[in-house]
Structure 1
């Protein structure tokens, strides 16, 4: 959506494919300043490749409630909910946000294409499902200074009145847009949704004002570190969509993925409810946990080879085994990073549920000079980083 501006700004010339669009991996030669902009100032991230669907009609609420595991009858006008949605076996297809734009008008954002699934779920209902992905550009303005920046450029709204996971309509430089109090960084932040024809103008206005607040463009590398610190799942990394999993054992339910709080079994019928109700009764085999790796031991493992711990820098999406105290593999760590703000090496992991208690001692596989080693780790609660100002 912002290819020309990003092409000129991308000093590193590192690109990633996101749903057929090119997005910057990093804008600068390294990601460090972009990461610290998210945490200490403000960052502007192009998230336009997200899929967006509008559901309109007399049965819109009924259809959305059939698709997702949350109870959207509790979603007020102008409110946003996060939810996964599942197949008939209770396995997760995707996850995203659900907005209530009007009584009979919802919008769903998603990582993967879902038009056919939504239409199939809506068969026989009075609801139009429209793919509006290419009709909306999206910029994520994230970080502690995101609100002061927006305060200077928006008209007709009080930003302090936009609650966490709420939305409002406004204009910036005469451009109509929707602002949502959402993001993928676990920090104070907003996402701006508007017509793509205004994308470059919107970017320029925000950067011009934001420069005084330390605003920097940020790419996917910095975003990946921030979302792990926030304990946020990434599809095809921390769980595999049931539509893409090659074998059943690769599929996950919301209970496996630490999303039990999103499953409203008492709301009535929805896709996957029967299977999820049965799982809730018998207990889930897997659980999502946070891991904090023992840094002194990690240092010693690398010191044997006269090396520093080679784990700082970019996040890793390569799954590695997790073991119990007896050396038996009981899961895998799917996202790992050294957290610059916490000064800890952390991971998101899926483990057998009996080992998911906070403080439980485990170990994680690390490779030192081509040799696989086990390093102690302990289970900790997620999110790893949860600043108070995120919800204020």
Structure 2
């Protein structure tokens, strides 16, 4: 075992860095192995095989089969560790990756039970550790990252390994990426080279995948109802109709996902989109566009579409309106349309479903004179799939610009909430309910204020921080004084950059002397903490447990009454009724032998409330138990729209609204999380925060709006003609009966009672009268959170 570094590097040329296009050495492949999952990859004599433990403490197991079906660890220069129980357990756990490996083994006729295991990272590996082997003959390599479900009171999540293969004979030629594997067995599998257009027919219910093979390449798409074409009627996708009916610049997976023609007939709907950034319905490139740039005769997509659709007797157009997938256009404040390099990465795609029999046309854009294709036109792959295939709705999500693509996930509680609504929206890589049928945001709001509500908060990011130096690491990374945090206590805190701007806010749980759990709003904070552990050389591990811990919150005056009779805690632990504010405890459903959970007394509503963490496999049981106990108390499901209402009233901040990386905790209204006087130790951003506190520029305030209109986040605040701040969040408060807002203003105008105006229509032509007031607007003394109701 050795540590040959094989890492991606951002593409860079002449001072332009593109982290979204990570590069590997020529001939090197990257294959992520999910925690609790596996991969099967063919290898060839002379290939170098490297396995990276990305987060640390993740055991790995490899099995190598020769072409004759025998397994021989010596062919990788390693010793056999006996039967590959780790791989066998992973293949038996029902995971998607395990099913693919099992299929590969079955196809090859290999018997895993006769395999020889090679085990790595068995002695407490750290983040970044790597094991390297060399193949002495051709064969099939199986790699697994074994691990089972993590109990919520433990801290042993299975995490990802990365398999790198450096090919001994990578091949010659132009290079570039090959198209990824199809999503299913394709009906059509068409490669379109730049400067070409190809038409194809698709039946109702079939799927169309438009795939950017190399990244940063645009593809125009247009579709006609075949039945209309047979009658000589041309009714293609119409941008104006689509925008009007969908209320979006372009549709996306979810409820508002369809593209329509002028007869208001839906032609296709978006099922999956891994890029999320496309054209705002300009024309496909035209001859005139290139002529006016000084390139007469340049090949263009509109002429290509005309040529290929001639076989269907479609009349030619000087410029074709089209969905231009991956083309990055935008409108600026002067109403000018601009463009930049596409956001698409290698392998990004959109998946559409045909809603009637169609004639479709797709292009690979030839533009090489501007940023439309990153100055380098490449190929597009089009695949179609049968109507019998099943594809879940998803939007592409990445933890960072360099990270692997992840499809939108369903939380463990998704099926439970789906009994009550179809209105789900994508949030941080998961589908979350927005509102509920037969309730609606206002009714859900009142349930939370007067009775109880249950909401899905599973997308919160969880990271297990363990090891002898865990306290030192967290003391350095968060603004709170971690040394004062007792076991069984949780604290709300901020994480900042060196300049004082916020990375995230969240809660830190102390599970033991050297055991912490960070629960934040995004992956950036967890990745940042791990980066600091490596940078400082601390003996601490930071491992993601988001997929192992899903959670619901039960909030409202009746929340304690609902939970107290269904949760059991050990004699040395507090009961539900005894659990204090900002405390947590391991618990079980019903009794000693019940399903394991962790119960925390916290929330995001301004009400008495609790959060219940469990493994996703137990989520349905947890939900049903709470629901049954809650029905007599009027328990109601609560979605994101209502959650926004209760949190604004309670003065609780939200990323991207009240704070970002340019906003410090004082400006975000959570200066109490920065105890500069009582925390003597240094922490990230301390010097900048001391300076910012001594010389404040902006302050978070409450506003009461005189008019009945609700301002939008980002609306400017003005005194006279001068802008002095901006609205961060606003609503018409049901319980207060007036429009209120959270806002950030210059300290000169932050005094209570200051009259101020919300500017609209360029900030000058329309004004909403307002005044600065204390916040939280609702229950400022937090009596309801304490459970003290009048």
Of 275, 281, 285, which residue of structure 1 is paired with 2:688?
275
Does 2:728 align with 1:334?
yes
Of 703, 710, 714, which residue of structure 2 is paired with 1:291?
703
Per the TM alignment, residue 331 of structure 1 is displaced from its structure 2 partner at its CA by 0.4
Of 374, 388, 392, which residue of structure 1 is paired with 2:783?
388
Of 707, 716, 738, which residue of structure 2 is paired with 1:321?
716
* Distance of 1:187 and 1:92 partners within structure 2: 26
1:264 equivalent in structure 2: 675
The C-alpha deviation readout for 1:260-301, integer Å capped at 9, x for no partner, is: 2211334221111111122223x111111111112xxx2xxx
Out of 334-343 and 166-175, give the one that drifted further: 166-175
The C-alpha deviation readout for 1:190-237, integer Å capped at 9, x for no partner, is: 000111111011111111110000001110010000000010111012
1:1-392 matches, cutoff 5 A: 1=411, 2-10=413-421, 13-28=422-437, 30-113=440-523, 114-123=525-534, 124-156=537-569, 157-173=574-590, 174-240=594-660, 242=661, 251-265=662-676, 266-281=679-694, 283-294=695-706, 298=707, 309=708, 311=710, 318-324=713-719, 326-365=720-759, 372-386=765-779, 387-392=782-787
* Distance of 1:175 and 1:198 partners within structure 2: 7
Q: Which aligned runs of 4 or more in structure 1 are off by greater than 3 angstroms? A: none
Which structure has the larger Rg? 2
Per the TM alignment, residue 43 of structure 1 is displaced from its structure 2 partner at its CA by 0.3
* Distance of 1:212 and 1:376 partners within structure 2: 44
**Is contact 2:494-2:665 (8 Å) kept?**
yes
* Distance of 2:712 and 2:601 partners within structure 1: 27
**Is contact 1:237-1:317 (8 Å) kept?**
no
Structure-2 change in CA distance of 1:317 and 1:211 (3 Å): farther
* Distance of 1:329 and 1:49 partners within structure 2: 36
Secondary structure at 2:565's aligned position in 1? helix
* Distance of 1:317 and 1:67 partners within structure 2: 33
Over the aligned positions, Cα root-mean-square deviation in angstroms equals 1.7
Residue segments in structure 2 that go unaligned for 5+ positions in a row: 1-410
**Is contact 2:648-2:729 (8 Å) kept?**
yes
* Distance of 1:41 and 1:376 partners within structure 2: 34
Per the TM alignment, residue 101 of structure 1 is displaced from its structure 2 partner at its CA by 1.1
**Is contact 1:40-1:144 (8 Å) kept?**
yes
* Distance of 2:681 and 2:709 partners within structure 1: 50
Structure-2 change in CA distance of 1:221 and 1:88 (3 Å): same
Structure-2 change in CA distance of 1:317 and 1:38 (3 Å): farther
**Is contact 2:454-2:635 (8 Å) kept?**
yes
Secondary structure at 1:233's aligned position in 2? coil
Out of 107-116 and 184-193, give the one that drifted further: 107-116
**Is contact 1:15-1:24 (8 Å) kept?**
yes
Per the TM alignment, residue 158 of structure 1 is displaced from its structure 2 partner at its CA by 2.4
Structure-2 change in CA distance of 1:350 and 1:371 (3 Å): closer
* Distance of 1:6 and 1:155 partners within structure 2: 25
Secondary structure at 1:164's aligned position in 2? coil
Out of 64-73 and 357-366, give the one that drifted further: 357-366
**Is contact 2:485-2:510 (8 Å) kept?**
yes
* Distance of 2:554 and 2:648 partners within structure 1: 18
Per the TM alignment, residue 171 of structure 1 is displaced from its structure 2 partner at its CA by 0.9
* Distance of 1:365 and 1:189 partners within structure 2: 37
**Is contact 1:38-1:143 (8 Å) kept?**
yes
Secondary structure at 2:472's aligned position in 1? helix
**Is contact 1:336-1:347 (8 Å) kept?**
yes
Structure (1/2) with the larger helix percentage: 1
* Distance of 2:669 and 2:601 partners within structure 1: 23
Per the TM alignment, residue 259 of structure 1 is displaced from its structure 2 partner at its CA by 2.0
Q: Under a length normalisation based on structure 1, what TM-score does the superposition of the two structures give?
A: 0.88
* Distance of 1:372 and 1:43 partners within structure 2: 41
Structure-2 change in CA distance of 1:317 and 1:141 (3 Å): farther
The C-alpha deviation readout for 1:127-148, integer Å capped at 9, x for no partner, is: 1111111110100000000000
Secondary structure at 1:322's aligned position in 2? strand
**Is contact 2:709-2:739 (8 Å) kept?**
no
Secondary structure at 1:9's aligned position in 2? coil
Per the TM alignment, residue 153 of structure 1 is displaced from its structure 2 partner at its CA by 0.7
Secondary structure at 1:159's aligned position in 2? coil
Per the TM alignment, residue 327 of structure 1 is displaced from its structure 2 partner at its CA by 3.6
2:168 equivalent in structure 1: none
Per the TM alignment, residue 372 of structure 1 is displaced from its structure 2 partner at its CA by 4.7
Per the TM alignment, residue 310 of structure 1 is displaced from its structure 2 partner at its CA by 5.0
Q: Under a length normalisation based on structure 2, what TM-score does the superposition of the two structures give?
A: 0.44
**Is contact 1:100-1:106 (8 Å) kept?**
yes
Per the TM alignment, residue 53 of structure 1 is displaced from its structure 2 partner at its CA by 0.8
Per the TM alignment, residue 255 of structure 1 is displaced from its structure 2 partner at its CA by 1.8
